[in-house]
Amino acid sequence: AQSVAQPEDQVNVAEGNPLTVKCTYSVSGNPYLFWYVQYPNRGLQFLLKYITGDNLVKGSYGFEAEFNKSQTSFHLKKPSALVSDSALYFCALGGGYQKVTFGTGTKLQVIP
Amino acid sequence: KAGVTQTPRYLIKTRGQQVTLSCSPISGHRSVSWYQQTPGQGLQFLFEYFSETQRNKGNFPGRFSGRQFSNSRSEMNVSTLELGDSALYLCASSLRDESEQFFGPGTRLTVL
């Protein structure tokens, strides 16, 4: 069975500082990995994905994520946090013939 | 292109009733997935349809069912509603197996 873990319920970071939101996964075979963001009272929006290729993936709004196969991780990063980045972030695994499994979500709070 | 649309946006029902939610995917998308989002349980996968066939199913009781029509529109039905079914129900569509999902705004179901 596949699984996704987001070990932090909440991450607090000062505006302008780098941010990291952690995600680890477990799956047999090659993973499809995604990050989504949910702003208050809005649906989920796609940020970035890893299917194959370069381990460093760049996405929307200046976010990037690094796929690390040996550590089975796919952490979301941004060099300089903005207050407007405050939202709920979900890591997801799967797609196609594999059902999509979402992590429990990490609330990111960027402090002015 | 129009985004994923869900109707109705809000619904109030009483225990024991049944409800049908509708989702129209982005034009050309053949995969439609349904999720239940609650504060306590996070984002839970319900089922996924591809070309009118249920391809994946989550761990929900048989009271939850769905279908997909030839135009890719999908409906989700919940029978014999329980208080615990109160949640935001999200629909998402995608183009290919490795593609990201595009989410609708959700239907907020309240069971009294």
Q: How far is the C-alpha of A102 from the C-alpha of A5, rounded, in Å? A: 8
pLDDT digits (tens, 9 = 90+) for A44-62: 999 999 998 889 999 999 9
Three-state SS string over B31-77 comes to EEEEEEEECCCEEEEEEEEECCEEEEECCCCCCEEEEECCCCCEEEE
Q: Quick check: B43 contacting A, CB < 8 Å?
A: yes
Coil/strand/helix, residue B78 = strand
Residue A111 in this model has a pLDDT that exceeds 70: yes
Contact residues on chain A for B40, CB-CB shorter than 8 A? none
Q: Which distant-in-sequence residues (6+ apart) come within 8 Å of B61 by Cβ?
A: none
Q: How far is the C-alpha of A42 from the C-alpha of B105, rounded, in Å? A: 6
Residue B33 in this model has a pLDDT that exceeds 90: yes
Q: Quick check: B98 contacting A, CB < 8 Å?
A: yes
Degrees to nearest 5, angle at CA A43 with B66 and B24:
40
pLDDT digits (tens, 9 = 90+) for B75-84: 999 999 999 9
What is the pLDDT at residue A42? Answer: 77
Q: What is the mean pLDDT of chain B?
A: 93
Query: Is A43 in contact with B103 (Cβ distance < 8 A)?
Result: yes
Contact residues on chain B for A40, CB-CB shorter than 8 A? none
